[in-house]
Amino acid sequence: MKHILYLASTILLISCSNTNSQIIENINASQFETLIKTQDGIILDVRTSEEFYSGHISEATNLDYYKDDFEEKLNIMRKDIPIYVYCRSGGRSKKAAGYMKNLGFSKVYNLIGGIGAWDAEGHQSVSSNRAEKQIHPTYTVSEINALVKTHEFALINFSTDWCVPCKKMKQIIKAVQKIKPDLKIILVDADVNKELAKNYNINGVPVLIILKNNEELFRHTGIISKEELLNKLD
C-alpha cells in the first residue's frame, strides 16, 4: 500500500512539475518567427520606447519592463492566448515571462537572445520614428459632457496604445461610424487621461461606454462585435 501511495505521489509531482514548466517556453528566433506567423497571440516587446522605435518585430506591442506600472499593465492583458515576449538580449523578457507565469498567463514564449539574435539570423524588423506616435488629447469630465450633450447617442472608448484588444476595438468602432455617421465618438487614452479614467471607474481596457441623452446606457469591458454594438445603438 505504501508503495502504491508513493508511486501515486511521484506521478502527481511529476505531472505538476511538467505543467508548470510548460507555461514558459524558451525558443530560438526561427521558432519564434514560425509561431508568430502561424498562431494567434500577442507579440510583446518589453524594452524601453527608445529601443522599440529604433527597431522592433512587426505587430509588436511595447510595454517597458522598467516602468513602475509594468506588472499592472500585464495583469490587464488577456491571459488565455499565447504571449510572444522579447527584449534586447533575453534578460528582461525572461523576467517578464516569470511575472506572467505568476499572473496566470496560459502560455508564454520567450525569445532566446532577444532581438539581437533575431536580427543576427536575418529575420525582418521594422523601425518607426518617435514623431509618428499618436498624440492623444486630454479631457476633463466637463469637456466630455460638453461634447456629448448635443447628441442623442455618444460613444466613449477608453483604450491604450499598448493594449492589443484596444486596437481591434477601434477597428470595430470605425466600421460602426461608417454606418452611423451622426454618432458622437470620443476616443480616450486611459494612460494620458488617468484622472478621467478614475472618474469613470475604468479598471481595465478597452472599455466602451454608450451614452443616451448624456446618461450612461451601456458599458462593456473587452471586445464587443460590430453587430452587438449596433444593436445597442438602435
Active site residues: 87
3-state secondary structure of 186: strand
Cα 65 → chain centroid: 14
Beta strands in 34-114 (DSSP E): 42-45, 61-62, 83-86, 108-111
Q: What is the spatial distance between Cα 211 and Cα 233, in angstroms, rounded to a whole number? A: 9
Report residue 49 as a C-alpha cell: 520606447
Measured at the alpha carbon of residue 188, what is the angle toward residues 184 and 189, in degrees to the nearest 5? 160
